[in-house]
């Protein structure tokens, strides 16, 4: 590899042979055809033809049908491409990517089709990835909003048995993002795309730290690619809110490449850190309470400000203190931990207990091993934080200018919901987060208290 991933064109990034990287791996993703810009939906037939697909199964809901249905149907009919379609019927509340949605798709599926075509953003795209995987078919997507970075990822964020899970499958082989369609998306969806990208300051920072402390595989080329997308999107933030075609194109390209970074890395690390776990936990709380959640990227934006605050306060002021970390571990009570986890996770507790068992994360030897790494690498960790993170005030100002929700109360979430999300974040997956490091250092409980006392909850 002579050039950096961050300098490559989309044609190079989507090379079926993959890219031999300086990190020693060959990075590839399943995306083969990507068009963004005004009128891009007209290129959908060309994308299908290039991939040798002749009959799409088109999936929409009432909103995405209104935004793009006629344009998609028109483009397909104009090219003489037969298709079947399913439009999710109107339901009260937000559509969830759950067993009901998947059952509805399975019951409507036309087995004569040779590709699943999602017309939508988050939920529709996720469900179509799962359907395509189930039917061993490729999938494609016509984006209706620049609202999240999952278009090109190889995973689908689903709700299974009322638990949020990531199912790994293939990423779409065709993505078409028509800025005439994207421009019709409501403000909140544009803000969500921005929120999902602001998260990358933290995800890249945390990825580097997890590499040092937990031995997670890290690729500087992929991190550089994510930083470049993030910069491009932040630079275009104002134009995005004014729906300028050039800004919409830049943002949707950045979102697609950010998703590609996860496919390249084969883990979600480049694009998801603690800020995403605030969102995951809030969503799980809402599921339990039967309440709707805000858009992924909107929650992630609020989680980004919380996490930046934690870095600026808890981690900036403190140093690793072996005695404090040991005292925390000595004082760890399995019974107390179980009580807290049962309160936070309710019926999901057995899953949390199983992950704790499997990872051994609450055992003294694991904690001591992490703590030794944190102490050994502390200067590097501090340097990483300085290099990767902008100030919270600066990000807060950008979000304010774009009219975004900035504090949990803006999303109807309480202080306790947020403290529980922080406490529970390190428990739900096998992933070393900022909160995992705080726990290993004996600082997590104190950080929750500090947040409760000093965080600018009023915004």
Residues that bind Zn ion (CB under 5 A): 21, 23, 196, 219, 221
Separation of alpha carbons 194 and 185, rounded Å: 14
Which long-range contacts link 44-51 to residues 24+ away (Cβ below 8 Å)?
44/72, 44/75, 44/76, 44/140, 44/142, 44/174, 44/176, 45/75, 45/76, 45/78, 45/79, 45/81, 47/140, 47/174, 47/176, 48/81, 48/115, 48/140, 48/174, 49/79, 51/115, 51/138, 51/173, 51/174
- Between 61 and 221, whose beta carbon lies closer to Zn ion? 221
Q: Least distance in Å: CB of 261 to Zn ion?
A: 10
Helix (H) or strand (E) holding 37: strand 33-37
- Between 44 and 145, whose beta carbon lies closer to Zn ion? 145
- Between 58 and 192, whose beta carbon lies closer to Zn ion? 192
- Between 270 and 442, whose beta carbon lies closer to Zn ion? 270
Are 174 and 256 within 8 A, CB to CB? no
- Between 135 and 152, whose beta carbon lies closer to Zn ion? 152
Per DSSP, 151 falls in state T
Q: Record the tokens describing residue 378, joined without a space.
A: 């502390």
334-345 and 415-425 are packed helices; what angle lies between their axes, rounded to 10 degrees? 120
Q: Least distance in Å: CB of 303 to Zn ion?
A: 10
CA distances (Å), origin 384, targets 351, 378, 379, 441: 33, 10, 9, 18
Per DSSP, 31 falls in state -
Q: Least distance in Å: CB of 279 to Zn ion?
A: 8
- Between 8 and 23, whose beta carbon lies closer to Zn ion? 23
Separation of alpha carbons 148 and 258, rounded Å: 10
Q: Least distance in Å: CB of 230 to Zn ion?
A: 13
Are 440 and 374 within 8 A, CB to CB? yes
The Cβ of residue 403 has, within 10 Å, a number of other Cβ atoms equal to 12
Q: Tally DSSP H helices, then E strands, for the chain.
A: 23, 10
- Between 197 and 438, whose beta carbon lies closer to Zn ion? 197
Q: Least distance in Å: CB of 178 to Zn ion?
A: 22
Separation of alpha carbons 299 and 166, rounded Å: 17
- Between 219 and 257, whose beta carbon lies closer to Zn ion? 219
Q: Least distance in Å: CB of 354 to Zn ion?
A: 25
Separation of alpha carbons 292 and 423, rounded Å: 22
- Between 21 and 241, whose beta carbon lies closer to Zn ion? 21
Separation of alpha carbons 442 and 375, rounded Å: 13
Q: Record the tokens describing residue 289, joined without a space.
A: 């309470």
- 3-class DSSP state of 377: coil
- Between 279 and 418, whose beta carbon lies closer to Zn ion? 279
Q: Least distance in Å: CB of 413 to Zn ion?
A: 18
Beta-strand ranges (E) seen in 90-162 are 115-120, 139-143, 155-160
- Between 40 and 389, whose beta carbon lies closer to Zn ion? 389
Neighbouring-strand partners of residue 84: 57
Helix (H) or strand (E) holding 177: strand 174-178
- Between 41 and 199, whose beta carbon lies closer to Zn ion? 199
Are 362 and 329 within 8 A, CB to CB? no
């Amino acid at each position: 590899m002579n050039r950096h991933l961050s300098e490559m064109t989309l044609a190079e990034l989507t090379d079926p042979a993959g890219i031999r990287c300086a990190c020693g791996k060959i990075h590839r993703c399943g995306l083969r055809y990507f068009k963004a810009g005004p009128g891009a939906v007209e290129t959908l037939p060309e994308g299908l033809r290039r991939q040798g697909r002749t009959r799409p199964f088109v999936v929409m809901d009432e909103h995405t049908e209104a935004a793009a249905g006629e344009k998609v149907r028109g483009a397909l009919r104009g090219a003489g491409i037969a298709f079947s379609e399913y439009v999710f019927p109107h339901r009260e509340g937000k559509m969830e990517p759950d067993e009901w949605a998947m059952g509805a798709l399975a019951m409507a599926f036309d087995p004569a089709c040779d590709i699943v075509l999602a017309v939508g953003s988050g939920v529709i795209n996720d469900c179509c990835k799962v359907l395509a995987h189930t039917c061993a078919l490729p999938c494609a997507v016509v984006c209706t909003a620049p609202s999240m970075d999952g278009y090109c990822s190889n995973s689908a964020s689903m709700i299974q048995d009322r638990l949020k899970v990531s199912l790994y499958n293939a990423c779409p082989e065709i993505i078409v993002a028509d800025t005439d369609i994207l421009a019709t998306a409501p403000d909140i969806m544009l803000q969500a795309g921005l929120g999902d990208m602001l998260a990358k300051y933290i995800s890249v920072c945390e990825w580097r730290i997890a590499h040092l402390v937990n031995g997670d595989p890290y690729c500087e080329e992929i991190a550089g690619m994510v930083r470049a997308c993030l910069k491009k999107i932040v630079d275009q933030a104002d134009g995005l809110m004014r729906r300028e075609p050039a800004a919409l194109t830049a943002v949707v390209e950045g979102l697609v490449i950010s998703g590609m970074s996860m496919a390249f890395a084969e883990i979600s690390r480049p694009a998801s850190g603690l800020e995403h776990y605030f969102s995951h936990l809030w969503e799980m709380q809402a599921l339990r309470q039967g309440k709707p959640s805000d858009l992924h990227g909107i929650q992630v934006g609020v989680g980004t400000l919380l996490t930046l605050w934690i870095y600026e306060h808890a981690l900036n002021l403190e140093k690793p203190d072996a005695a404090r970390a040991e005292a925390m571990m000595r004082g760890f009570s399995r019974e107390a931990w179980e009580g807290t986890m049962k309160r936070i996770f309710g019926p999901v507790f057995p899953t949390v207990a199983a992950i704790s068992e499997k990872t051994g994360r609450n055992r003294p030897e694991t904690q001591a091993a992490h703590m030794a790494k944190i102490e050994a690498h502390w200067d590097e960790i501090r340097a990483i934080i300085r290099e990767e993170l902008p100030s919270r005030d600066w990000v807060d100002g950008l979000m304010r200018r774009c009219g975004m929700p900035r504090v949990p109360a803006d999303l109807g979430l309480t202080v306790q919901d947020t403290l529980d999300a922080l406490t529970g974040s390190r428990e739900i997956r096998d992933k070393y987060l900022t909160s995992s490091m705080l726990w290993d250092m004996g600082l997590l409980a104190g950080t929750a208290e500090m947040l409760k006392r000093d965080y600018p909850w009023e915004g």
